[in-house]
Amino acid sequence: MISAVTLTGCATTMGSGVTDSQLRRVCGLWQPISWSSQDTDLTIEEVKINNAKNVAFCPENAPKK
């Protein structure tokens, strides 16, 4: 008889080699960045891109409405 066992501590996310536990830690640390009116347009654009990537990778970091 063969039985299947799931080892959630070893499960990886999308074949990236990153475990679910590691992903949760990254998402807990990766917080949105803000900008000021004194920042350049390029800096503001880069901050917005970083924040969009944050939400795409860590949906739980999306701003609360």
Q: Are 54 and 40 in contact (CB under 8 A)?
A: no
Residue identified by tokens 């039985």 is 3
Q: For the whole model, what pTM was predicted?
A: 0.62
Q: Quick one: DSSP state of residue 19?
A: B
Q: Where are the domains of the chain?
A: 19-61
Cα torsion 21, 23, 28, 29: sign: positive
What the block records as the tokens of 23 is: 């992903």
Over residues 7-18, the pLDDT tens digits come to: 444 454 556 677
The first and second tokens of residue 5, run together, are 């066992």
- pLDDT (tens digit, 9 = 90+) per residue, 34-53? 999 999 999 999 999 999 99
Is the pLDDT confidence value at 5 over 60?
no
